[in-house]
Amino acid sequence: MILLFVQISAIVSTMQKESETVLQINIKELLQAKVPKIAKWVPPFAINYLSRLIHLDEINEFLKKNYSLEATEFVKACNAYLGFTTELEGGDRLEELLAQRPIIVGNHPLGGSESLAMMEVMNNYGYETKMVSNFIMTYLKPLAPLLIPVLSGKDYKTIKNFRDHFVGDTPIIMFPAGICSRYLSDGTFFDYTWHFTFIKMARRYNRPILPVYIDGANSKKFYRLSKWRNRFKIKTSLEALTLPDEMFKQKGKTIKISIGELISPTEFESSDNNVLWADKVRNHVFLMRQDSHQVFDPAREVTLPAK
């Protein structure tokens, strides 16, 4: 539940005093610590509005009660707090599939709720499954043991840690879109182009791909904001500020996850075009909406637009 807020704030870890054992988030202190010249001009009503928008009181209360939990229990507590239930198609095969040390890739329709659901589902089968995430997420101590951080820069220690995880047998979850799904140029609801890192890792470390389709969508308000931001050519994702509110709107809902068939890394050997292979797997995942048991066809043409 706090997963998205930590992504948005990106610096809340610096607000935690050494003497504190529980992370508590304060918008005013965050602004003063990171953008002091701007902070003094931000009126109290704006801070109060933002605090309500991201459900700050509820988030902080949740942290007080659950921050000392170990990783898998913390994830369960998040899902229980939001009342998520998971409907799993193909779950009877999951224990056998996870034994193949797969890279689990899926679409990203909600931007956070599905991450929590996937982490709980995949860790119910005796294999410690981890998820690739933004480096800042590791500052959320209860979640850190289940995360594989990535950085945009060249931090060689982090890069080595990232690669070492793929050498081992840990099943790894990745959301290659990087951001949650949007309405594309042809009016359909899909992920933007997938980053091809998962293809490189599958080929380099001989790991199969386990495709997963997740059903769901955010509110119309979220997509309208995204549309107008793009129309005005604003690069900063303003709609990301509403993601915590979108997560709370999912409260009590069922997240449907369809488990596909393993894709062997040998399927990608006929070409070195990792960008194309990533797009083919993306295309395949969205075809799983109709039939989750279909076999990946490397010769199938990509029909989804990039944006």
Q: What pLDDT is attached to residue 227? A: 87
> What pLDDT band is residue 154 in, cutting at 50, 70 and 90?
confident
Write the CB contacts of 1 (distance below 8 Å, at least 6 apart in sequence): 59, 62, 78, 81, 82, 116, 247, 248
Residue of 98, 125, 142 whose CA lies nearest to 1:
142
**pLDDT above 80: residue 192:** yes
Domain count, the chain: 1
In a domain, 217, yes or no: yes
In a domain, 107, yes or no: yes
In a domain, 298, yes or no: no
In a domain, 60, yes or no: no
With helix as H, strand as E and coil as C, how does the chain read? Answer: CCHHHHHHHCCHHHHCCCCCCCCCCCHHHHHHHHCHHHHCCCCHHHHHHHHHHCCHHHHHHHHHHHCCCCHHHHHHHHHHHHCCEEEEECHHHHHHHHCCCCEEEECCCCCCHHHHHHHHHHCCCCCCCEEEEEHHHHHCCCCHHHEEEECCCCCHHHHHHHHHHHHCCCCEEECCCCCCCEECCCCCEECCCCCCHHHHHHHHCCCCEEEEEEECCCCHHHHHHHHHHHHCCCCCCHHHHHHHHHHHHCCCCEEEEEECCCECHHHHCCCCCHHHHHHHHHHHHHHCCCCCCCCCCCCCCCCCCCC
Q: What pLDDT is attached to residue 153? A: 67
> What pLDDT band is residue 30 in, cutting at 50, 70 and 90?
confident
In a domain, 303, yes or no: no
- And the tokens for 182? 């949007």
Q: What is the pLDDT of residues 170-186, one digit of tens each?
A: 999 999 998 899 887 77
Number of other residues whose CB lies within 10 A of the CB of residue 14: 12
Q: What pLDDT is attached to residue 12? A: 45
Contact by Cβ (8 Å): 171, 201: no
Query: Residue 132 maps to which CATH number?
Result: 3.40.1130.10
Q: What pLDDT is attached to residue 232? A: 86
User: Domain of 200?
Assistant: 83-287
Contact by Cβ (8 Å): 275, 162: no
In a domain, 170, yes or no: yes
In a domain, 237, yes or no: yes
Pairwise pLDDT comparison (16 vs 153), residue with the higher score: 153
Q: What is the pLDDT of residues 196-249, one digit of tens each?
A: 999 999 999 999 999 999 999 999 999 999 888 888 888 877 888 888 899 898
- Mean pLDDT on 4-25: 50
In a domain, 229, yes or no: yes
What pTM, to 2 d.p., does this model score?
A: 0.89
Q: What pLDDT is attached to residue 152? A: 66
Q: What pLDDT is attached to residue 143? A: 93
- And the tokens for 55? 């459900």
Number of other residues whose CB lies within 10 A of the CB of residue 125: 15
